[in-house]
Amino acid sequence: MNGEAALALALFTPLAGTVLIAMSGQFPNLREMFTLVTAVLTFIFVASLYPLAVNEQVVRLELFSMIPGVPVAFRLEPLGLVYALVATLLWIPNSLYSIGYMRGNHEKHQTRFYSCFPIAIASAIGIAFAENLFTMFLFYEVLTLSTFPLVTHKGSTDAVRSGRVYLGILLTTSVCFQLFAVLWIYALAKTGGASGTDFEAGGIFRDALASNAVSPAVVGLLFFLYIYGIGKAALMPVHRWLPAAMVAPTPVSAFLHAVAVVKAGVFCVIKVIVYVFGIDTLKLHNLGEWLLYISGATIIIASLIAAFQDNLKKRLAYSTISQLSYVVMAGALFTPLAIFAATAHIVAHAFGKITLFFAAGSVYTAAHKTQVSQLDGIGRRMPWTMAAFTVGALSMVGVPPLVGFVSKFYLLNGVTESWTGASGHFDEAFVLVVIVASTLLNASYFLPIIYRAFFKPLSDEDRKHPHGEAPWPIVFALTFTAGLTLAFFFWQKPVLALAELVRRAAV
């Protein structure tokens, strides 16, 4: 299969899936089959792009021009492929998990639920392979809107209120900041202030800055607009939408708000750093140092908040905010090796966090429990679930042999790369302190849950309500992702090959 066809199929298969799912609402088994088939096919099409990316072939697809001169176009690119592979791979276990969860909890409007998912995936793929700034913005917005019905799925007052926060923050930041930056760059490109509007290794401002066609202050402002325009990266203080989105059914929180949506955020941040501004440019003109401190602060503050959350999903959400800023902080070091680490962490966090959410949903389905304080002794009743939870939690802390260790290892390498031992390296010292402190904090809010689950006795109240494991699709899905967390420690080559390409593009 040639690359263009694979790219087009990866984009359109989910959309075709949406149509089929919407039409087969009367037959739940058929509908779920369409979901699974779509998920598997989409992953196959994305995966078939892998050899092309490793061989650095140019694969380009131009769909149409929404506005004359502003095409909607896609181009295969290693960082995007990493994100797309993670998203489509995890969609498969998540589809299985959804079936167990939605049926187990007798949720309503399941057809709407299953129809919205593929649109979100298609927009994730669109973001991943966007060739220009406009295409990325376009699919970024479609992703926000297509996930809104999923977040407000329950339709309760609480869901509506959370939906408002979700849409409010994501649209405000993207329209006021990102769209502004996009339009500004398009206007600059017309007058030579930027060398183009396509993503370009090394950035689009290098020549313009050298020839004084654009001032560093403007580029710095654009960088700020972009970073805060990507609200999905949940950088403080625009992180509130993520805990609010936890009102959604667990498959949505697990897949969208631990993988597809939030990874779209950090992916966009890294992509913009590498391919729009360029790490050399940012470093040379000292435009992005603030980002290092903001993301470092986000890591610590979000971890502290997580430690005080009794609601399991809320605790996981704040943990996600903190982990996302790991990626941003790695990007903000502006060194090639740190960009490499950021790419690896996108993958590492996805596997661990989806497992944790799967476990939380499994507990809710089987035992109807949502709070950490209710989990005493549950490990004996749900051994698979809590074992998977343990794997995910340890990966978050960064314990080998789990994938979380890999990315943390490279991040530390990235720090030392720029730390030559000379004095005045306050930035690097700050990053080291943040990494150590957050590792301790991660341990402090995950390990007590594991301790409770396995070592504390069941309460008297719980003894009266016996329950076993969750339905098999749920258990299967979470075991699968826990297995991936483990497997990737040993089998990291494919991802690292892509990360290496991103690193080279950053130089």
Partner 1 sequence: MEWVHKHLPALIIMVPLCMGLVTAIIGRRGAGWYMAMGTTAATIAMAIQLLVNVLNTPGQSITYMHGNWPAPFGIAYVIDPLNAAILVIVALIAAIVTMYARKSVASEISVGKLHFFYGLWLFCITGLLGITITGDAFNLYVLLEISSLSTYTLVALGKDRNRRALTAAINYLVLGTIGACFYLAGIAYLYMATGSLNIADIAARMQDIYATWGTDSPQYQKTVIAGFALMAVGLSLKLALFPLHGWLPNAYTYAPSAVSALLASTATKVGAYAFIRVIFTLMGVDFAYHLLRTDVALLISSAAAILFGSFIAFRQTNVKKLLAYSSIGQVGYITMGFALGSVTGLTASVIHLFNHALTKGGMFLALGVVAYRVGNTKLQSLAGLGRKLPFTMGAFTAGGLGLIGVPLTAGFVSKWYLVSACLEAGRYELAGIVLVGSLIALLYTWKVVEVIYFGKRADDAAPMREAPLTMLVPTLLLIGGSLYFGIDSSLSAHIAETAARFVLGGTP
Please tell me whether residue 5 binds partner 1 under the rule CB under 8 A: no
Residue 214 φ/ψ, nearest 5 degrees: -145, 145
Beta carbon of residue 149, minimum distance to partner 1 (angstroms, whole number): 9
Please tell me whether residue 1 binds partner 1 under the rule CB under 8 A: no
Beta carbon of residue 160, minimum distance to partner 1 (angstroms, whole number): 5
Alpha helices in 69-156 (DSSP H): 78-104, 110-129, 133-151
Residue 320 in 3-state DSSP? Answer: helix
Residue of the chain from 98, 110, 152, 362 that contacts partner 1 (CB under 8 A): 152
Residue of the chain from 51, 155, 192, 400 that contacts partner 1 (CB under 8 A): 155
Please tell me whether residue 113 binds partner 1 under the rule CB under 8 A: no
Per-residue binder mask for partner 1 (CB under 8 A), 356-395, x = binder:
----------------------------------------
Kindly indicate which of the ranges 87-95, 179-187, 318-326, 335-343 contains the residues binding partner 1, using the contact rule CB under 8 A. Answer: 179-187
Residue of the chain from 70, 189, 201, 447 that contacts partner 1 (CB under 8 A): 70
Residue of the chain from 41, 47, 165, 172 that contacts partner 1 (CB under 8 A): 172
Residue of the chain from 12, 50, 180, 419 that contacts partner 1 (CB under 8 A): 180
- The long-range contacts involving 54-59, CB below 8 angstroms and separated by at least 24 positions, are 54/497, 54/498, 54/501, 56/501, 57/3, 59/3, 59/4, 59/6, 59/7
Instruction: Please provide the DSSP assignment of 10-34 as one string.
Output: HHHHHHHHHHHHHHTTT-HHHHHHH
Kindly indicate which of the ranges 134-142, 329-337, 426-434, 485-493 contains the residues binding partner 1, using the contact rule CB under 8 A. Answer: 134-142
Please tell me whether residue 164 binds partner 1 under the rule CB under 8 A: yes
**Binding residues among 304-333 for partner 1 as defined by CB under 8 A:** none
Please tell me whether residue 66 binds partner 1 under the rule CB under 8 A: yes
Please tell me whether residue 166 binds partner 1 under the rule CB under 8 A: no
Residue 62 φ/ψ, nearest 5 degrees: -115, 125
Please tell me whether residue 179 binds partner 1 under the rule CB under 8 A: yes
Measured CA to CA, the distance from residue 193 to residue 219 in angstroms comes to 10
Please tell me whether residue 19 binds partner 1 under the rule CB under 8 A: no
Q: List the structure tokens of 120.
A: 């979100």
CB of 276 or CB of 302, closer to partner 1: 276
Residue of the chain from 5, 160, 284, 433 that contacts partner 1 (CB under 8 A): 160
Per-residue binder mask for partner 1 (CB under 8 A), 188-207, x = binder:
--x-----------------
Instruction: Please provide the DSSP assignment of 148-185 as one string.
Output: HHHHTTT-SHHHHHHHHHHHHHHHHHIIIIIIHHHHHH
Please tell me whether residue 26 binds partner 1 under the rule CB under 8 A: no
Residue of the chain from 55, 58, 68, 424 that contacts partner 1 (CB under 8 A): 68
Give kind and range of the element (H or E) at residue 71.
strand 70-75
How many CA atoms lie within 13 Å of 105's alpha carbon, on the beta-carbon side?
24
CA distances from 406 to 250, 302, 349, 412, 448 (A): 27, 22, 11, 10, 24
Please tell me whether residue 121 binds partner 1 under the rule CB under 8 A: no
Could you give the dihedral angle defined by the CA atoms of residues 40, 44, 45 and 49, in that order, rounded to the nearest 10 degrees? Answer: 150
Nearest to residue 98, comparing CAs of 114, 118, 112? 114
Beta carbon of residue 132, minimum distance to partner 1 (angstroms, whole number): 13
- Other C-beta atoms closer than 10 Å to the C-beta of 33 total 15
CA distances from 98 to 93, 254, 356 (A): 9, 10, 15
Residues lying near partner 1 in the complex (CB under 8 A) are found at 64-68, 70, 137-138, 141-142, 145, 152, 155, 159-160, 164, 167-168, 171-172, 175-176, 179-180, 183-184, 186-187, 190
